[in-house]
Structure 1
Amino acid sequence: MTQDEATTHTQEPHHSLDAEQVGYKQTLQRRHVQMIAIGGAIGTGLFLGSASRLHSTGPALLFSYAFVGVIAFFLMRALGELVLHRPTSGAFVSYMREFYGEKWAFVTGWMYWLNWALTGVAELSAVGLYIQYWWPLMPAWATVLIALAVVLAVNLMSARAFGEFEFWAAIAKVGAILVFLAVGLVVVIGGFNIGNHQAGFHNLWSNPGGFWPASGDYAWYGPILVMSGVVFAYAAIEMVGVAAGEMANPTREVPKAVNAVIFRIAIFYCGSILLLVSMLPTTEFKSGTSPFVTVFDRMGLGWMSTLIQIVLIVAAMSSLNAGLYSTGRVLRSLGMSKQAPSFTLKMSASGVPWAGIVMTSVVFVLGAGLNALVPDAFEIALEAAAIGVVFTWATIFLCQLRLRALVKRGVVPASPFQMPGHPYTSIIGLAFLGLIIVGLAISGWQSSPYFGHKVTFLVVVFGIPILTGVLALGWKLVKPAVMANTNGQIKAVWSNDGPTYGPNVDPDDLDPAKPSGEGN
């Protein structure tokens, strides 16, 4: 921002929040943005997680992925409206600060960090397992350190280096899916045999139990219940919101990336699931083995199975990369408002919030060590991360609703990229996320006959209240510092009638980056 622009913006309180952007370099180009958007929508949830869901649900999983895909599109349109209202690397934390106040910014930021910290530990552990496909004697700790060293080095270089890594990772993931789609179409349309089974679209209804199995080991509500797991296959598509603060031209790139999401979901997710169920009976897919590996092995194409294993490693590394990138920026946003340790504010000359990135890396290493020693304990933590995904998505819908309400009252100008179907699309999204929590509890209860092993159920019923208590305690501890930093102005920046603290308030008093009384 130039000096002239800064002078102009001091007349508008919400621009004081732009202080979060100081130090960042807008170096992400169009190809980076497009591939970050694609890469966020393709990961281990498709390459690996879809196997167990196919086995337990049948061809109706296609319906599950399509329905959740529509919700994901609503989410991205809501996020797009927020980003074009004000691009910021603080993302959801910054929007919650603007529309709901410091307390909810604190909760949002730490929930998002918890989600990525625990997801990253899982991905590190997964890389160790994937590597043992070729080198079964290689110790997991060595793989963990090597994988983390690679993504840490990439993140510490620059935002552009992160973008380059994601660009090529997305190329690899998309390339593998396109190869599968091409081979799958030929096999299915041609009605070729895979082992002793004939491929074809007729398998959609001739699959054991039909398209929507409802007898035997299946339940009629299975495809609905499994949506609680499908949501997490789409987790990370919101990365575009975090990256917006470092885009060279977010006004141009974000709408293109967001609008393309629904088509990518339709092609990559729904297209892949459609071909998988058309090639083999869903009972052939087993948890822990990629369904793509299963298909190619049955076709005698062992080299393709090897390729998928490589792509699984790339997908896990991409997730690690995104986790470090986003948590570093979210922690810096929290640090600016005294809601995280002050060292998280440290940035390198290349515009990288390196302290927050290193902090997350340390947690990755400690978590991976704990996972190796006490796997059951980490399984509980991973389910807590799933709740973090639901919470983050909910904040996006809530902020969009509040933004549009303020626009209608003439308090803030309209975003140039508005969400269609307002307010119903965001309300539907929020209602769906509420049902996801219920679905997690139900599926968790059904997962084991032993109460102590009903992990997801226990996390939802006992974990959410515990997490709520921890966050409430955390806010109580940091609130005095936040109050001092903001002159007691910790409510949302906007009220229904204008700036919360009056039209004559000094914008710097709303600036979480400056101590009270400090001017430009």
Structure 2
Amino acid sequence: MAENNNEQNMSRGLKNRHVQLIALGGTIGTGLFLGAGKSIHLAGPSILLAYLIAGLACFFLMRALGELLLSNTSSVSFIDFINKYLGKKTGFVAGWTYLICWITIAMAEITAAGLYMQFWYPDLPIWVTALFLLVILFFMNSITVSAFGETEFWFAIIKVVAILVLIGVGVVLVAIHYKTPVGYASVSNITGGSFFPHGFKGFFMSFQMVVFSFVGVEMIGMTASETKDPEKIIPKCINDVPVRIILFYIGALVALMCIYPWSYVSPDSSPFVQVFQGIGIKSAAAIVNFVVLTAAASACNSAVFTTGRMLYSLTSESKNKFAKQFGTLSKRGLPSRAILACTLLIALSVILDVIMPEGVFEFISSVATTCFLFIWSLISVTHYKYRESLSVDETKALPFKMPLFPYSNFFIIAFMAMVAIVLLFSTSTLVALVGSVVWLIGMYIFASVKVK
């Protein structure tokens, strides 16, 4: 595989629909299809408000990210901006943390994909599904960037269609006042009782699952250098995607709670399965299993793409001969060696599933997702520093300004701090939060020695 020097630019093969669905599909996944039951159980109807607040924070986050990306559309990742405005040590910690986060998420999702396949083939070993899926995704990511975009486009379409079908079914059932095993489909299932049935405690405790449902929304920060006409596509994508995400989440949750009163939604299983089975669709479990299998494949696809670009970004200027191998591009303008290295790391999950106790692997995954609070906060602080570095005339000339600056930045930071505080009140999330703090402190100590 011939590699070129770093002067070569990355291939700009991502179209508008690719970027739209990459960001959209990256956030709509198992957090909604499997985890919504837990958040509904905690918050009741107020879960809708929780998603609106989190969605607003994500909208501001993406606007901040978009403004940074448009200031230099050749940047491989948002880590380049963190390096520039917050220093190389912080950039080093953020970059490697983000890389490990996505590697860990991919490991968890590739294992989940094997478990989902066992729904149909109980005797099929998990590693067979995991290995097969990884090989396919590796080749799709190694052909051209547009091949990745096209794969992710269709993965995302399946998830979007599933949500639209649920919303459509909800509208029809409410219109005909359909009788379910626990009552009738009606808007009064949401409006008829208390909006905060478990008080503000239940409302705030739901933010853990709500926020982590949005993990991946920042993936657009990895696409600018490979997007056709980024000055036009990036702003359009950023303005459209958060609104669509909020509508899909809110629409799906409203449909679920209109069909089934929130108090009957089980926190331990997929509410999609429960609702579809409740209205007489016998194959509901198989349908939802197919959708979550697609969601897992989509998450792995995104991880292979993201980690490959991040490893390339972190090593492209390295003086270490071994590390520099991953900081080169192929003739097609792809970081092929970095993609291969990250795919092999993800493949280690097959071995880890055997030798590592389940509790330890879950802990590592929880730490990784908790670290996204740190990454998102850094993006907001970086944007604030960037805007402060501009003159008045430069600020006026910006084509894509962050709304309500600097208050929107303060809102993002305050929101992330609130979620971190919420994590203190549950044993499992507290352990993950402490673990992520230990990881970050350790990385900063390492960066102090490594980065000059």
Q: TM-score range with shorter-chain normalisation?
A: over 0.9
Report what 2:236 is aligned to: 256
Q: Distance in 2 between matches of 1:43 and 1:324?
A: 16
| Offset, 1:356 | 1.9
**Matches of residues 74-473 of structure 1 in structure 2 within 5 Å?**
74-206=60-192, 210-214=194-198, 219-338=199-318, 341-372=323-354, 373-408=356-391, 414-443=397-426, 445=427, 455-461=428-434, 463-473=435-445
Q: Which amino acid letter does the alignment assign opposite residue 348 of structure 1?
A: S
| Offset, 1:339 | 8.4
Could you say which structure has the greater relative contact order, defined with CA pairs below 8 angstroms and 6 or more residues apart?
Answer: 2
Q: Is the 8 A contact 2:107 2:349 kept in 1?
A: yes
| Offset, 1:347 | 2.4
Q: Distance in 2 between matches of 1:474 and 1:411?
A: 37
**In terms of mean alpha carbon deviation, does 154-163 or 360-369 score higher?**
360-369
SS in 2 for 1:59: helix
Question: 1:16-45 deviations in whole A, cap 9, x for unaligned?
Answer: xxx978331111112212222321231111
Report what 1:73 is aligned to: 59
Q: Given the superposition, is the C-alpha separation of residues 441 and 24 from structure 1 closer, same or farther in structure 2, using an over 3 Å criterion?
A: same
Q: Given the superposition, is the C-alpha separation of residues 22 and 223 from structure 1 closer, same or farther in structure 2, using an over 3 Å criterion?
A: farther
Q: Is the 8 A contact 2:6 2:328 kept in 1?
A: no
TM-score normalised to structure 1 length: 0.81
Q: Is the 8 A contact 1:20 1:333 kept in 2?
A: no
| Offset, 1:332 | 1.0
Identity across the alignment (%): 33
SS in 1 for 2:169: helix
Q: Which amino acid letter does the alignment assign opposite residue 64 of structure 1?
A: A
Q: Which amino acid letter does the alignment assign opposite residue 352 of structure 2?
A: L
Q: For structure 2, list consecutive stretches of 5 or more residues without a partner in the other structure.
A: none
Q: Is the 8 A contact 1:92 1:395 kept in 2?
A: no
| Offset, 1:388 | 2.0
Q: Is the 8 A contact 2:69 2:75 kept in 1?
A: no
| Offset, 1:108 | 1.1
SS in 2 for 1:55: helix
**Matches of residues 441-520 of structure 1 in structure 2 within 5 Å?**
441-443=424-426, 445=427, 455-461=428-434, 463-479=435-451, 483=452
Q: Distance in 2 between matches of 1:478 and 1:397?
A: 25
| Offset, 1:260 | 0.9
Q: Which amino acid letter does the alignment assign opposite residue 329 of structure 1?
A: R
Q: Given the superposition, is the C-alpha separation of residues 184 and 339 from structure 1 closer, same or farther in structure 2, using an over 3 Å criterion?
A: farther
Q: Which amino acid letter does the alignment assign opposite residue 113 of structure 2?
A: V
Moved >3 Å (runs of 4+): 19-23, 408-415
Q: Given the superposition, is the C-alpha separation of residues 327 and 142 from structure 1 closer, same or farther in structure 2, using an over 3 Å criterion?
A: same
Please say if 1:35 is aligned against 2:14: no
Q: Distance in 1 between matches of 2:443 and 2:395?
A: 31
| Offset, 1:69 | 0.8
Q: Distance in 1 between matches of 2:432 and 2:284?
A: 38
| Offset, 1:331 | 1.1
SS in 1 for 2:197: coil
Q: Is the 8 A contact 2:76 2:309 kept in 1?
A: yes
Q: Distance in 2 between matches of 1:290 and 1:89?
A: 39
Report what 1:508 is aligned to: none
Q: Is the 8 A contact 1:21 1:88 kept in 2?
A: no
Report what 1:500 is aligned to: none
Q: Is the 8 A contact 2:6 2:329 kept in 1?
A: no
Q: Given the superposition, is the C-alpha separation of residues 111 and 21 from structure 1 closer, same or farther in structure 2, using an over 3 Å criterion?
A: farther
| Offset, 1:409 | 5.9
Q: Which amino acid letter does the alignment assign opposite residue 474 of structure 1?
A: F
Q: Given the superposition, is the C-alpha separation of residues 419 and 185 from structure 1 closer, same or farther in structure 2, using an over 3 Å criterion?
A: same
Q: How many residues align?
A: 445
Q: Is the 8 A contact 2:57 2:412 kept in 1?
A: yes
Q: Given the superposition, is the C-alpha separation of residues 343 and 288 from structure 1 closer, same or farther in structure 2, using an over 3 Å criterion?
A: farther
Q: Which has the larger radius of gyration?
A: 1
Q: Which amino acid letter does the alignment assign opposite residue 92 of structure 1?
A: F
Q: For structure 1, list consecutive stretches of 5 or more residues without a partner in the other structure.
A: 1-18, 446-454, 484-520
